[in-house]
Amino acid sequence: MERLERMFNEAAARAAPASARRPLPGESDSDDDKPDPTAAERIVRAHADGDFFTALGLPLPDCDDAGKPVWDVPDGVVSKAFRKASLRVHPDKNPSEEAKIAFDKLSDANRALRDPARRGEALRKFATKAFNEKCRLDPGLMLRAKKAQERRDAEGYHEEIQRQQEAHRERIAAMKAKAAAFRKRHREDDDDDDDASVGDTSSDDDDEEEDAKEKERAAEAERAAKKRAKAAEEAAAKASTEGGGGGGNGRKARPGARKKVASASSDDDDDDAGLARPVLGAKGRGKPKFIM
């Protein structure tokens, strides 16, 4: 893989135009493609210090008043700087071992600035150096940066609290929805059980209603029997009272005779439903006779 990367970088270096690099003070445009023994040493030393920017001939990062890195060089400029720097240490132009090592370090510096993690680490390193220098020149800068950082931390803390509260509300809403669905499902199951039990209880209700009607009919029959018995007693008493004038002589029946009639009528209540037997009056004078 490294061999392919090296071949690609060599091809890119050969394809770079000779006039693309801005000449340094004291050198002409024609010096870009000439071997530079000092360039190899500079590239190797800068790479060892983690200074990929100097190795590629790029401007160094700066920092703001809060100490954050400031470096607005696009990737296209980085690629162009790599092609320009590689012309001085390209193995085809400089066959020395130092040039070969410098070209490999230059290729690694190019990959480092294209990798977000390695580039971020390099930017923070140079931003820290630049911020310390600014604080040395302006002692109040550190205090202002500290206050600014505290404000950012407070804002971040507030946002984190809001995020946690929102997440908590979402969890509560989800739990309520789940509980509501659970209750609804159980209500539906209870309704199904009630519908199934209607058929079982309806037959029991019909039996109870039939028993109540049977009891009502029995009570009605008992009341009717009592009513008939009372009517029979009243009829017997009335018949015994009216039987005293059956002889045609206007005499009143003796008390003993009335008792006999009442006794006879009460004995025959069950046979003739309270109707007294006819009293046969004797012709002429004499006591009335009853058929017992």
Of 157-171, 221-235, 273-287, least confident by mean pLDDT is 273-287
Integer Cα distance of 68 and 130 in angstroms: 10
172: amino acid identity, one letter: I
Confidence class for position 172, pLDDT limits 50, 70, 90: very high
- The tokens describing 108, both together, are 């690694």
Q: What average pLDDT does range 11-25 have in this prediction?
A: 45
DSSP class of residue 58 equals P
Q: Where are the domains of the chain?
A: 2-137, 149-192, 232-292
249-278 confidence digits (pLDDT tens)? 444 445 454 444 444 444 444 444 444 455
Angle value at C-alpha 230, between 252 and 250, nearest 5 degrees:
10
